[in-house]
Amino acid sequence: MEKLIIEGGRRLEGSVRISGAKNAALPIMAASLLTNETCTIKNVPALSDIDTMIKILKNLGLSAEKQSGTLILSGSCGKTKASYDLVSTMRASVCVLGPLLGKNRRAEVSFPGGCVIGPRPIDLHLKGIEALGAKIEIKSGYIIAKAKRLKGARIYLGGHFGSSVLATANTMMAAVLAEGVTVIENSACEPEIVDLANFLISMGARIEGQSTPTIKIKGVKKLHGAVHSVIPDRVETGTYMMAGIITGGDVFLKDARPDYIIALIDKLTECGAKIKELPGGLRVQGKKRMKPVAVTTLPYPGFPTDMQAQAMSVLCLADGISVITEKIFPERFIHISELSRMGARIMLEGPHAIIEGVKRLSGARVMASDLRASAALVLAGLAARGKTEISRIYHLDRGYEKLDKKLRGIGASIWREKDK
């Protein structure tokens, strides 16, 4: 195992290239199960979650060839079972359910279970494919979905916490090969869903309304291979924006798409950051002390839950009291205890975190608990006085391509060491 060491207090300055979006690439890779022809996916980030999905697809019968950022998936899925060993390491693997069912009329996918950010139900995934005609059984920890034929339907996919990204993806991927028309109401509008829909369209699917809460799909008999380039990662973009801001720096994020992060730009501007769209990317300038703000996480285009932890690190050093309300995963606050070890003052009251800005954070030994919480610790470490040691950084490698190298490129003092 490795740990990250950060010597904090350096102002970050320079340019970072934003990689392809993990959360777009994963369902797009799963969608390649829907055809027997070759799919070429470009701008795929080098991440352990991507490697996990490659293993799942290979187990299902596809062959995969990866050359730098390009992934070529070919062959057909002879098998229909995604096993516990792989699915349990990455929740997003549940998104093979829809395409397996669509293509083979049968899918057996290990139940993904909960995780450190709180319970993660899959009722909406099951509701979507059931409405298309699948019979579902939960047996020995597996979701077994079968259908003689899939038939288009009007489906309301809203849950207690709003729309669901991967339930929309699964339903859409099952519906593209169903008979007739499917309408998904309260579908997720996230840019990753739009990217998936665009990939499916390039494979021959007939989809309208992606990026709106009503997606309409007209089933086709067969899909063909396609070439597609994955959109830039908005969570990675936001994380580097906040790395610039928390160090009072000045960074340029090459290939960033400001239209994907409107809510984040709005909040960070309210905090006092200067953010400017330039040709080819986004320039972000922080200042010595940021202003406190109230942040509420919401489905897209609201403030993303995947940037809540990183925003908390920034607000720990703001000049006053901020409030973060988590409306997607109300228990996603595990980073608070580690930030407190670095001198943060945060009180948790149900889904609300009340953050009293402090003058400075101090470096400490902390432990990464999940992907975005780990990023929050990195940001805190960059701003803190002294040395921060972050253990269990395999979480970071799941979702941030070459994080330490990219941060070094803009002036951070950060490196990896073996952890005993």
Task: Provide the β-strand partners of residue 417.
Answer: 3
Cβ-contact 288, 316 below 8 angstroms: no
**Stretches 2-10, 119-127, 267-275, 336-344: which one binds ligand UD1 (CB under 6 A)?**
119-127
One of 115, 161, 362, 385 touching ligand UD1 (CB under 6 A): 161
Active-site positions read 115
| Among residues 101, 166, 271, 375, the one that binds ligand UD1 under rule CB under 6 A | 166
The DSSP-derived string for 385-412 is BSEEEEE-THHHHHH-TTHHHHHHHTT-
Selected binder of ligand UD1 within 123, 137, 266, 277 (CB under 6 A):
123
Which is nearer to ligand UD1, 14 or 113 (by Cβ)? 113
User: Which residue of 18, 19, 20, 23 would you call a contact of ligand UD1, by CB under 6 A?
Assistant: 23
8 A C-beta contact, residue 120 and residue 108: no
**Closest distance to ligand UD1 from the beta carbon of 385 (Å):** 31
Q: List binders of ligand UD1 among 257-316 (CB under 6 A).
A: 305-306
**What's the rounded Cα separation, in Å, for the pair 181 and 154?**
8
Binds ligand UD1 by CB under 6 A, chosen from 29, 34, 107, 165: 165
350 lies in the binding site for ligand UD1 (CB under 6 A): no
Rg (CA), the chain: 21
CB 238 within 8 A of CB 261: yes
Q: How many residues touch ligand UD1 (CB under 6 A)?
A: 22
- Three-class SS state of 133: coil
Residues 188-207 that bind ligand UD1 (CB under 6 A): 192
Residue 129 three-state SS: helix
> In the window 379-418, what residues touch ligand UD1 (CB under 6 A)?
none
Binding mask 73-92 for ligand UD1 (x = CB under 6 A): ------------------xx
Among 4, 29, 109, 122, binds ligand UD1 (CB under 6 A): 122
Taking CB under 6 A as the rule, does residue 351 contact ligand UD1? no
Q: Which helix (H) or strand (E) holds 184?
A: strand 181-185
Minimum distance from residue 167 beta carbon to ligand UD1 (Å): 5
How far apart CA 415 and CA 381 sit, in angstroms, is 12
Interface with ligand UD1, residue 420, by CB under 6 A: no
Non-local CB neighbours of 19 within 8 Å, separated by 6+ positions: 43, 45, 46, 232, 233, 236, 401
User: In this structure, what token pair is assigned to residue 392?
Assistant: 């269990």
329 binds ligand UD1 (CB under 6 A): yes
Q: What span, in angstroms and rounded, lies between the C-alpha atoms of 161 and 359?
A: 35
Say if strands 2-7 and 387-391 run parallel, antiparallel, or are unpaired. antiparallel
| Tally of CB atoms within 10 A around 226 | 22
> Contact region for ligand UD1 (CB under 6 A) — 36-44, 96-104, 131-139, 165-173?
165-173
- Compute the half-sphere exposure of residue 58: CA atoms within 13 Å on the CB side of its CA: 13
Q: Return the residue matching tokens 């400490």.
A: 364
- Asked if 124 interacts with ligand UD1 (CB under 6 A), we say yes
CB of 369 to ligand UD1, least distance (A): 14
Q: Of 69-77, 116-124, 273-281, 376-384, which segment contacts ligand UD1 by CB under 6 A?
A: 116-124
- Any contact of residue 26 with ligand UD1 (CB under 6 A)? yes
154 forms beta bridges with 183
Report residue 93 as tokens: 């693997």
Is 84 or 161 the residue whose CB approaches ligand UD1 more closely? Answer: 161
Q: Residues interacting with ligand UD1, by CB under 6 A?
A: 23, 26, 91-92, 120-125, 159-161, 164-167, 192, 305-306, 328-329
